[in-house]
Structure 1
């Protein structure tokens, strides 16, 4: 049984708060609402804004990612949850003065609306260069290329409104997928925490309109895949009515895959109207076994299972975070998907920066988390672990100690661990992918250490200390790869940042 703590349901109120904030943000676009927090766009050098490419992925990973065509022959599918409020850019301005920098990364942004918790976001999309012409379409196409090159099959598109800016961006994403890669699938996910006033008829109209795009995900038999977020907000009969309306008025048959915040046994009756089942999932490493049990229950009901895979979760505006344990949650949730023999996977999320749950390339993490997903999705889709061909090190750490608090005058609303999450820890993790055993030489702050790491995948924890951290692999006296954190651990702090920052030796550090 999945984690039943009430903390998982905070997504409902969180979504409503984010929508209110975004609505204000759209009105303020183009206005100068503050300056960037010092260092918000700086590490120790310039940011690499180049988009990912197939060639980049072939050299940046510790293994050779199979060609897209080969991965797509697998019946197992991998999607990432796309959240329309946070595209690559909101105004096509240079990163040092765009809307993210002026309004989301600083406590003073949006006229101080987010000052209580130190700013809405702690990270942002990897900055994209301004584009000429239809820049929004160009940026969405870039995101699709990045996801495809990492091995993903498509996005689950969070539908937040029946009209307005988020509806328009949803349409544009479907168009971008058609123009960029007709094999990239967009799964329609009506968000029932936002579409609270929708009727079966109005939702059927929305889905029918979006389903005219050829990139909307359909099964081989032609049924439109619909994966409502928080499906339990409506009864099974409500969904049956919506599906009947979609077919009788629009001629569209539905493959319903309801996603529950809590997949409790009393939700089994949804199986009668569903092609598959899913849940949002937990965000700590010690809470992954519940999803495996739920997957097996779905299979016993004769349904496919879409398994949640996550990196971490830290929400300043809700004052909560989950202890991810460096990359432990990511590795554990991928292993759970494999152990559960899941049919599909949903990465939760691609780009919800307000939750800190993103795997998309970002300012603070680069491609590190997405690169790790490429390794595990290859095992998930092919059934065999990839052969490690290049020594690669991944280093993760927070930039502050868990118990360090900012002055109350700077951040009145403190971010606390969610009840029931794993015990918070102050650790640096070195995750090594080695072709053969090697000596790993580490530095955390001024402390140094050396240990012998085996071939294959191996995680080592070190105590967190102020300053930068680094790790170097040495074999037969020769350095094979090295990695250094881009952001140092600091004391004291002027605002909390409970996300784990990640960096990989597989990509150039500038």
Structure 2
């Protein structure tokens, strides 16, 4: 059952991104083991909805995540970009034989159409148990719980089509959000790289249909938030016409928050019709300052700013990757959102596994990127850094070296660094969250080392070596926490996998 999106093109910081329909490949599954002017009303949410994060989730973090109700009193909002082609499951089959395993994670899947680059995907959602009844709805509700419990306010929903499977899944996500948590919002994001045939009238009709759902994101004044992806595909007059159609024929007023692939000066002409502005952002650590400048420019124009926060970007089907610098891009883009006093944040993305940019819990990263985002979003929403209460380690590393190339017979299309990205590196990062200074004893392959880490957050880079990597916190002769990579670095390779893999000491490995 191929779930086809019309091919869409994204560009991160001025570069094109082509994401074909749903397709992937497989690694060994046995190893997985408030109201503010920028916000919206939550009047229909029960008073106790999400009043506290689950205990198991809280204790996995180095700090206590504030209760959901407290986080929601902030006018600052955090969304994650939801890409409908990649839900938790595509066929409700057990993970060892589901569509991801059979077709997306293996070079031979979908009749070998992705063999040239070793398969479409290198990672997948954490496997979900098959459900009875309406399993698609159940799985979407599960994703909403996961995002809500991590402190997110909602999803920005990438609308890829006006009809068909992805359109149906978009509608189901809106329903799931209202049923699971009426305070969790779904912001409508028509994808103008895919909706190329849309007219102002047809898009207004589609948005009006989806806006019937109570979970559709609205401002306190009732305006429907519409945040078109690659808004520059249409000029301001086109968007004015679309908003007139929404109001005159459907009685819906619009708060437009156009998202540009790059917020260049000529895009300021959109400010006159917009409530806010945004951009897709860069996915390498040394290019985050530009987003801070863009946020300040939006504020000078009197508009709110939705800031992009990203983890990494590796696209086998395009033969390109960005050097994320382990967790450096994630930390730098969050810090830029805080520094710029952004109004909203968009995590780009929740679940686009075809570009490796996902923060959703996955086979190779567990909850790491979402857990780290919970730390930064707490600062973003409350204005105070949370107190570190539990020693916790995060280890990130690739499972191969950037210069290793597979035989052409196994993967003819080589994946190269994107021009302009940071210099690729072979490094293991030990990111420590410590309650007090301590010794951190490390091992990469057969080589051991040790360093003294201060209290608070501290990153240490070590050379990548073949084999597993590990780190242990020792204070006063007592081990407080330890972490070991689940996947070893290997050479040679039979296909390229240039994503960083992540693991935390805060969660049991499976």
* TM-score range for the pair, normalised by the shorter chain length: over 0.9
The 5 A counterparts of 1:52-131 are: 54-131=54-131
Q: Is the 8 A contact 2:229 2:260 kept in 1?
A: yes
Correspondence 1:144-183 to 2 at 5 A: 144-183=144-183
Q: Name the structure 2 match of 1:41.
A: 29
Q: Distance in 2 between matches of 1:278 and 1:57?
A: 31
Distance in 1 (CA, whole Å) between partners of 2:14 and 2:336 is 22
Are residue 389 (structure 1) and residue 389 (structure 2) matched? Answer: yes
**Partner of 1:488 in structure 2?**
488
Separation of aligned partners in 2, 1:53 and 1:360: 17
- Confirm or deny: 8 A CA contact 2:309 2:347 kept in the other structure: yes
Post-superposition offset of 1:359: 0.2
For the 8 Å contact 2:11–2:280, the answer to whether it is kept is no
Q: How does 1:351-430 map to 2 (within 5 A)?
A: 351-430=351-430
Cα separation, 2, equivalents of 1:252 and 1:122:
42
2:335 corresponds to: 335
Q: Is 1:502 matched with 2:499?
A: no
TM-score (norm 1): 0.93
1:227-259 deviation line (CA, Å, top 9, x unaligned): 000000000000000001100000000000000
CA drift at 1:40: 2.7
CA RMSD of aligned residues (A): 1.4
Give 3-state SS (helix, strand or coil) of 1:491's partner: coil
Q: Does 1:316 align with 2:316?
A: yes
Match of 1:31 in 2: none
What's 1:202 paired with?
202
Compute the displacement of 1:9 (Å). 4.7
Question: TM-score, normalised on structure 2?
Answer: 0.93
Alpha carbons 2:305, 2:343 under 8 Å: kept: yes
What per-residue deviation string (whole Å, max 9, x for no partner) do you get for residues 401-434 of structure 1? 0000000000000000000000000000000000
- The yes-or-no answer on 1:213 pairing with 2:201 is no
State the alpha-carbon separation in 2 of the partners of residues 225 and 219 from structure 1. Answer: 7
What SS is found at the alignment partner of 1:57? helix
Aligned counterpart, 1:222: 222
Deviation at 1:369, TM superposition (A): 0.6
Equivalent residue runs for 1:436-447 within 5 Å: 436-447=436-447
For 2:116 and 2:158, how far apart are their aligned partners in 1?
28
Aligned residue pairs: how many?
Answer: 483
Tell me how far apart the structure 2 counterparts of residues 441 and 262 of structure 1 sit (CA, whole Å).
43
Q: CA deviation at 1:358?
A: 0.1
Quick check: 1:232 aligned with 2:232?
Answer: yes
**Is the partner of 2:430 in helix, strand or coil?**
strand
Match of 1:374, SS state, is helix
Contact between 1:351 and 1:358, CA under 8 Å: does it hold in 2? yes
CA deviations on 1:375-396 (whole Å, 9 max, x unpaired) are 0000000000000000000000
Distance 1:188 1:7, change over 3 A: closer
Q: Aligned-pair distance for 1:161? A: 0.2
Q: What is the SS of the residue equivalent to 2:30?
A: coil
Shift of 1:291: 0.2
Check whether the contact 1:470–1:484 (CA below 8 A) recurs between aligned residues. yes
Q: Tell me, in whole angstroms, the C-alpha distance in 2 between the residues paired with 1:229 and 1:437.
A: 45
Q: Report deviation, 1:42.
A: 3.1
Q: Tell me, yes or no, if the aligned pair for 1:285 and 1:333 is still in contact at 8 Å.
A: yes
**Where does the alignment leave 5 or more consecutive residues of structure 2 unmatched?**
1-9, 34-51
In the alignment, is the contact (CA less than 8 A) between 2:12 and 2:261 conserved in 1? no
Conserved in 1, the CA contact under 8 Å of 2:12 and 2:282? no
Q: 1:298 is matched with which residue? A: 298
**Hey, what's the Cα distance between the residues in 2 that align with 1:109 and 1:260?**
34
Counterpart of 1:326? Answer: 326
Contact 2:60 2:506 in 1 (8 A): yes
Distance of 1:100 and 1:6 partners within structure 2: 25
- 8 Å contact from structure 1 (residues 226, 254) kept in 2: yes
Task: Give the Cα–Cα distance (whole angstroms) in 1 for the partners of residues 181 and 385 of structure 2.
Answer: 27
Aligned-pair CA distance for 1:8: 3.9
Instruction: Give unpaired runs (5+ residues) of structure 1.
Output: 26-33
Pair 1:271 & 2:271 matched:
yes
